Structure 1
């Protein structure tokens, strides 16, 4: 099992991803509306079934049928048969076995010569009258051999789900990937590509599972298309991901495009290993369709890659830099800071611009510019040693010179503490941890921050300093691996 979740991007509520929100709401309305109503009616019918004469008359011949047609399922059903609590599960299998059900309704299983035929016929008719009109089966993709050709289900199946967990898991991934793709494509193109992704997923799933009993439903194929679009859209841009591979999980910063072959390989491996209950080929179809659609959009210049879309106008940026340098040379520091601030707004991730803004603003240590420039440096993605060194040097200067004092937020302190521990600046990391413990003892990132600092100290041979964090780790993260290592130490 492998999945990866991007952590770098956040939705902009100045330009909300309304189409993604609308798709999520539509999926929820369908599931908690007609699907849930259908499920409740089926449960009432099943309750009647269990209390009627039908289990005693229908389930034994159904188990015998399974033993002939599917010995593995038949063997399991035979073990379940004596237990009344398993009747509902056996009933579900009976209702989904079209061939047996057809024979049952044609009086080929319980024949008119059976002395209990009238009794059976009465309860069977009552049970079927209680069954709701099919909704999920009608709009989901049918893989059976004699299924009616219904091309509209290639799309409608993407708005159906099998359980609450199935729905919520899909909606989480729809939001995580959908908002970035929607803002890049625009709402109309995004919706078109989402629906085409659902079609591509359904087509590959229909080919891969043709002739097999069961239905295809769920938004995961269309969401996989969004994942393929995301990888192609960002291409070689390094994105921070949380990933899980079987029982191992961690963070990684990698070019987004590298995840596409990883996702594809995962779906193929899961399919070949015979994963049950999950349409991995639908995921694969979605990934390939989404990647192809985004590649086509980029070639046709219907969408700009995020790197290009967010790039400032070079001339305007250069104007601000030139003006800032001119005002700085003339010792007009307020105006120089204003120009550096404008340049940083155009290139928020440019470390050189932020450094120049910070160094100019430090000449007026009580100014808002000094605090803002420091905060922007502290929030740079620390993907290389140079950025980490800049953050540490800026932190030392800021702490020493800021007037009337440093304005560090808990999120910034936690982030800096982890990064300082990474570059073995343990004194500053430990100091930030102590401040966090006093000023924000319930901060969500505090346990991970303490763990990272303690782990760094242990690896550096600073066992006593690491152990000094143990009481707080026992309180905040008693089951953490570092906490257990410290207890043993």
Structure 2
């Protein structure tokens, strides 16, 4: 087993990989929508089957038929027939054998001469009525003998999955490779190549597994096409990868193109070793199709260069440092308006960084009527107060903002209530009381007003400011008459 995950790039949210996200959502909606509904319906029908007369009447002749047509499977099924807990597995095998089902439904297995024929017929009809309309079988690729030709399944099979683990694993690789390829190709070409990759994967799998039974489904073929595109797009550029080879895993920096033959060799080896349940030839078909498509697109000049793609993927940390450096340089040149714009951009990347907000606020205070001054103040006031330094910053900033803001402060009731409680906590009762008085005038019905007044009054009582605390009593009697602080003030 071998796989490699690129660690070189991160998605850019300036130019988000929306199509990759959309493909992921479509796959998830299909799996947790009609596929899951079908699975639940089948489980209900299977539960009825095991409790009915059908297992005793159908499974023994089914095992006899298997022993004649496929002795190896028949021998295994004979052992399973001894245990009732194996009935569900045998039922699943029975439902997949179209030739036996045809005989069963034609009354050639349980015949009218059987004394329990009427009972069997009734239970069989009930079971089949409970089965949901086939969805996965209709849209998956059929590898069975004499399978009906359904060309649309070359594409639709790539949007079906067999289990939650199958889906989530595929979606992880779709995102890891998809966002780079989407940026390089553009959304229209990317979608076209993704679907062509799915078709290429399905064609090779259909040829390799024809007549072997079962169904082909999953996005891994189309994702393998993206992997092939990625390797060809970056060619000899050295990319850092995380890889696993059997039980060994590590990091390696290597030319991207070297991974293409490694991936191809892995799929061929797994196929030759007789891996069951995984369509390795679909992966190989996807790799070859994707590599050919990307090579053709590059020859036609339809692909952005890796340098352009990388520049569009500059990570947030790099952009943050660039904005901070620019803001400091502009401040030193006394270009405060432009410096504020850089601090604003840095704060957008790290909205919880107190040092950035402090620098933005201190630069903006030189223009106290500017929107930047009001915005920076609001951002500081809304920081989570988890430590003393943040509380001190909020109080200092509030004092400055209150004194300098033009034409006046622009505080929302939520902000005032939050600050009043915090200031009471750090014993800044003057400012806490001031905010409570403003709230009483501007938002007398605010849902947090009662709690805010209670916190402030309690703090004033413990600080010995009895008269100021009692001054809040009429409001507490109106808003929270049964509050413990209200009762304490009444006793005082």
TM-score (norm: length of structure 1): 0.63
- Tell me the equivalent position of 1:192: 192
- Tell me the equivalent position of 1:157: 157
**Residues 185-219 of structure 1: per-residue CA shift (max 9 Å, x gap):** 11111000000000000000011111111110000
SS at the partner of 1:251?
A: strand
- Tell me the equivalent position of 1:55: 55
- Tell me the equivalent position of 2:128: 128
Does structure 2 retain, via aligned residues, the 8 Å contact 1:144–1:211?
yes
Does structure 1 retain, via aligned residues, the 8 Å contact 2:11–2:17?
yes
Does structure 1 retain, via aligned residues, the 8 Å contact 2:30–2:159?
yes
Structure 2 CA distance for aligned equivalents of residues 6 and 311 of structure 1:
17
Q: Which has the larger radius of gyration?
A: 2
Change in Cα spacing, 1:119 to 1:310, as seen in structure 2 (3 Å) is closer
- Tell me the equivalent position of 1:327: none
Structure 2 CA distance for aligned equivalents of residues 310 and 38 of structure 1:
43
Does structure 2 retain, via aligned residues, the 8 Å contact 1:234–1:307?
no
Does structure 2 retain, via aligned residues, the 8 Å contact 1:201–1:283?
yes
- Tell me the equivalent position of 1:10: 10
- Higher mean displacement: 178-187 or 141-150: 141-150
- Tell me the equivalent position of 1:167: 167
Q: How many residue pairs are counted as aligned between the two chains?
A: 315
Structure 2 CA distance for aligned equivalents of residues 193 and 144 of structure 1:
28
Does structure 1 retain, via aligned residues, the 8 Å contact 2:183–2:309?
no
- Tell me the equivalent position of 1:85: 85
- Tell me the equivalent position of 2:417: none
Note the C-alpha offset of 1:308.
5.8
Q: How does 1:284-433 map to 2 (within 5 A)?
A: 284-307=284-307
- Tell me the equivalent position of 1:140: 140
Change in Cα spacing, 1:167 to 1:44, as seen in structure 2 (3 Å) is same
Note the C-alpha offset of 1:132.
0.5
Does structure 1 retain, via aligned residues, the 8 Å contact 2:226–2:287?
yes
**Residues 351-376 of structure 1: per-residue CA shift (max 9 Å, x gap):** xxxxxxxxxxxxxxxxx9xxxxxxxx
Note the C-alpha offset of 1:311.
7.6
Note the C-alpha offset of 1:19.
0.2
- Tell me the equivalent position of 2:106: 106
**Residues 368-412 of structure 1: per-residue CA shift (max 9 Å, x gap):** 9xxxxxxxxxxxxxxxxxxxxxxxxxxxxxxxxxxxxxxxxxxxx
Note the C-alpha offset of 1:145.
2.0
Structure 1 CA distance for aligned equivalents of residues 34 and 199 of structure 2:
23
Does structure 2 retain, via aligned residues, the 8 Å contact 1:298–1:305?
no
- Tell me the equivalent position of 2:266: 266
Note the C-alpha offset of 1:79.
1.1
**Residues 122-172 of structure 1: per-residue CA shift (max 9 Å, x gap):** 100000000000000000011112111111110000000000000000000
- Tell me the equivalent position of 1:477: none
Does structure 1 retain, via aligned residues, the 8 Å contact 2:197–2:222?
yes
Structure 1 CA distance for aligned equivalents of residues 250 and 94 of structure 2:
44
Does structure 1 retain, via aligned residues, the 8 Å contact 2:161–2:219?
yes
Note the C-alpha offset of 1:304.
2.7
**Residues 61-109 of structure 1: per-residue CA shift (max 9 Å, x gap):** 1111111111221111111111111111110000001111111111111
- Higher mean displacement: 189-198 or 67-76: 67-76
- Tell me the equivalent position of 1:220: 220
- Tell me the equivalent position of 2:422: none
Change in Cα spacing, 1:311 to 1:247, as seen in structure 2 (3 Å) is closer
Change in Cα spacing, 1:12 to 1:310, as seen in structure 2 (3 Å) is closer
Structure 2 CA distance for aligned equivalents of residues 102 and 11 of structure 1:
52
Structure 1 CA distance for aligned equivalents of residues 110 and 310 of structure 2:
71
Q: Which runs of 4+ in 1 moved over 2 A?
A: 307-312
Structure 2 CA distance for aligned equivalents of residues 32 and 284 of structure 1:
28
**Residues 39-58 of structure 1: per-residue CA shift (max 9 Å, x gap):** 00000000000000000000
SS at the partner of 1:3?
A: strand
Does structure 2 retain, via aligned residues, the 8 Å contact 1:4–1:243?
yes
Does structure 2 retain, via aligned residues, the 8 Å contact 1:184–1:306?
yes
Note the C-alpha offset of 1:16.
0.4
- Tell me the equivalent position of 1:338: none
Note the C-alpha offset of 1:8.
1.1
SS at the partner of 1:212?
A: coil
- Tell me the equivalent position of 1:281: 281
SS at the partner of 1:276?
A: coil
Query: Is 1:37 paired with 2:37?
Result: yes
